[in-house]
Amino acid sequence: MAAIDQETSQSSVAQTSPRRAQLPAWIENTHPAFWLLALFLLFLPAFANDFFQFQIMGWTFILGMIALSLMFLAGYGGMVSLVQMTVAGCAGYMVAIFGTSAADAISLQWPWWIVVPVALAIATAFGTISGALAVRTEGIYTIMITLAIAAAFFYFTRQNYVIFNGFSGFNQIRAPVVFGIKWNDATPFYYLTLFFAVLSYAVVTYVSRAPFGLALQGIRDNPRRMEALGFNVTAHRIAAYAFAALIAAVAGILLTWQNGQISPGTAGIGAVIDILVIAVVGGLRRPIGPFIGAFIYVLLRTFALDILTEVGLDPKRFKLLIGFGFLAIVFFSPDGVLGLWDRWRARQKARSISSASGDSS
Amino acid sequence: MQRFIERHPVWSLVILIAAVFLLWLILAEWPRGLVAFAGRKKVFLNALLNGITLGGLYFLVASGFTLIFGLMRNVNLAHGSLYLFGGYIGYTVATASNSWILSFIVAFIAMAVLGMLLQVLVFRRMEGEELRQTLVTIGISIVLADILLWIWGGDFYQIETPDWLFGAIKLPIITAVKSSGDAVYMKYPLVRLVILAASIVIGVAMWLALNKTKIGMMIRAGVDDRDMLSATGIRIQLVFVLVFAFGAGLAGVAGVVGGTFQSLAPGEDTRFLLASLVVVIVGGMGSIPGAALGALLIGLSEQFGSVYMPTYAVVLTFLIMVLVLAFRPQGLLGSRG
Indicate if ipTM > 0.85.
no
Alpha helix (H) residue ranges in B185-233 = 190-212, 214-224, 226-231
A237 or A340, higher pLDDT: A237
pTM, rounded to two decimals: 0.79
Task: Please write the tens of the pLDDT for every residue from B64-76.
Answer: 888 888 777 777 8
Alpha helix (H) residue ranges in chain B = 2-7, 9-27, 32-38, 41-72, 79-97, 100-117, 130-152, 190-212, 214-224, 226-231, 236-261, 268-283, 288-308, 313-327
Rounded mean pLDDT, A143-163 = 82
A90 or A16, higher pLDDT: A90
- Residue A82, number of CB atoms within 10 A of its CB: 26
Task: Give chain B positions within 8 Å (CB) of A152.
Answer: 314-315, 317-318
Give chain A's mean pLDDT.
79
- Residue A232, number of CB atoms within 10 A of its CB: 13
Nearest-by-Cβ selection for B140 from A152, A156, A327: A327
A204 or B306, higher pLDDT: A204
- Is the pLDDT confidence value at A292 over 50? yes
Q: How far apart are CA B161 and CA B167, in angstroms?
A: 9
A26 or B282, higher pLDDT: B282
Q: How far apart are CA A155 and CA B319, in angstroms?
A: 14
Task: Please write the tens of the pLDDT for every residue from A301-336.
Answer: 788 777 777 776 666 677 777 788 888 887 777 677
Question: In this predicted structure, what is the pLDDT of residue A244?
Answer: 92
% of chain A beyond a pLDDT of 70: 87
- Is the pLDDT confidence value at B260 over 50? yes
User: Binning pLDDT at 50, 70 and 90, where does residue A248 land?
Assistant: very high
Task: Give chain A positions within 8 Å (CB) of B322.
Answer: 133
> A320 vs B146: CB contact, 8 Å cut-off?
yes
User: Binning pLDDT at 50, 70 and 90, where does residue A4 land?
Assistant: very low
Give the closest residue to A88 by CA, choosing from A218, A271, A252. Answer: A252
> B314 vs A155: CB contact, 8 Å cut-off?
yes
* Residue in chain A lying closest to B126 (CA): A331
For residue A203, what are the domain limits?
Answer: 48-360
Q: Is residue A20 part of a domain?
A: no
Question: In this predicted structure, what is the pLDDT of residue A12?
Answer: 45
Q: Is residue A355 part of a domain?
A: yes
Nearest-by-Cβ selection for B314 from A136, A159, A317: A159
Question: In this predicted structure, what is the pLDDT of residue A347?
Answer: 82
Q: Is residue A29 part of a domain?
A: no
Instruction: Report A:293-312 residues touching B (Cβ under 8 A).
Output: none
Domain total in chain A: 1
Work out the minimum CA distance from B278 to partner chain A, whole angstroms. 7
- Is the pLDDT confidence value at A54 over 90? no
% of chain A beyond a pLDDT of 90: 9
> B143 vs A320: CB contact, 8 Å cut-off?
yes
One-letter amino acid for residue A72 of the chain = F
* Residue in chain A lying closest to B74 (CA): A140
- Is the pLDDT confidence value at B113 over 90? yes
- Is the pLDDT confidence value at B336 over 60? no
Rounded mean pLDDT, B274-297 = 85
User: Binning pLDDT at 50, 70 and 90, where does residue B112 land?
Assistant: very high
User: Binning pLDDT at 50, 70 and 90, where does residue B77 land?
Assistant: confident
Q: Is residue A185 part of a domain?
A: yes
Interface probe for B, chosen from A70, A130, A165, A327 (most Cβ of B below 10 Å), is A327
A111 touches chain B (CB under 8 A): no
> B326 vs A133: CB contact, 8 Å cut-off?
yes
Rounded mean pLDDT, B108-131 = 84
> A159 vs B310: CB contact, 8 Å cut-off?
yes
Give chain B's mean pLDDT.
81
Min mean pLDDT across A73-77, B225-229, B267-271 is at: B225-229
Question: In this predicted structure, what is the pLDDT of residue B337?
Answer: 42
B287 or A87, higher pLDDT: A87
Q: Are A128 and A241 a contacting pair, CB within 8 Å?
A: yes
Give the domain CATH number at A227: 1.10.3470
Work out the minimum CA distance from B29 to partner chain A, whole angstroms. 34
Helices B130-152 and A269-282 cross at an angle (nearest 10°) of 130
Residue A313 DSSP label: S
Instruction: Report A:175-234 residues touching B (Cβ under 8 A).
Output: none
- Is the pLDDT confidence value at A180 over 80? no
Q: Alpha-carbon torsion B306, B48, B206, B6, what sign?
A: positive
Q: Is residue A2 part of a domain?
A: no
Question: In this predicted structure, what is the pLDDT of residue A16?
Answer: 45
Interface probe for B, chosen from A71, A81, A126, A147 (most Cβ of B below 10 Å), is A147
Architecture of the domain whose range is B37-327: Orthogonal Bundle (1.10)
A139 touches chain B (CB under 8 A): yes
A273 touches chain B (CB under 8 A): yes
User: Binning pLDDT at 50, 70 and 90, where does residue A41 land?
Assistant: confident
* Residue in chain B lying closest to A331 (CA): B136
> B146 vs A161: CB contact, 8 Å cut-off?
no
| Domain spans, chain B | 37-327
* Residue in chain A lying closest to B151 (CA): A317
Q: Is residue A302 part of a domain?
A: yes
Work out the minimum CA distance from A154 to partner chain B, whole angstroms. 10
Work out the minimum CA distance from A43 to partner chain B, whole angstroms. 37
> B136 vs A330: CB contact, 8 Å cut-off?
yes
B306 touches chain A (CB under 8 A): no
Work out the minimum CA distance from A151 to partner chain B, whole angstroms. 8
Helices A84-98 and A140-159 cross at an angle (nearest 10°) of 30
Rounded mean pLDDT, A207-227 = 87
- Is the pLDDT confidence value at B308 over 70? yes
Work out the minimum CA distance from B125 to partner chain A, whole angstroms. 10
Q: Are B54 and B296 a contacting pair, CB within 8 Å?
A: no
B124 or A199, higher pLDDT: A199
Task: Please write the tens of the pLDDT for every residue from B193-232.
Answer: 888 888 888 888 888 888 888 888 887 787 777 778 878 8
> B315 vs A156: CB contact, 8 Å cut-off?
yes
Task: Give chain B positions within 8 Å (CB) of A151.
Answer: 270, 274
User: Binning pLDDT at 50, 70 and 90, where does residue A30 land?
Assistant: low
Q: How far is CA B251 from CA B82, B187, B317, in A?
A: 6, 29, 22
> Which of the listed ranges A344-348, B242-246, B280-284 does the model predict with the highest average pLDDT?
B242-246
Rounded mean pLDDT, A38-67 = 80
Task: Please write the tens of the pLDDT for every residue from B147-178.
Answer: 888 888 778 888 877 777 777 777 776 666 66
Task: Give chain B positions within 8 Å (CB) of A143.
Answer: 75, 134
Give the CA-trace dihedral at A144, A146, A151, A153, to 10 degrees: 160
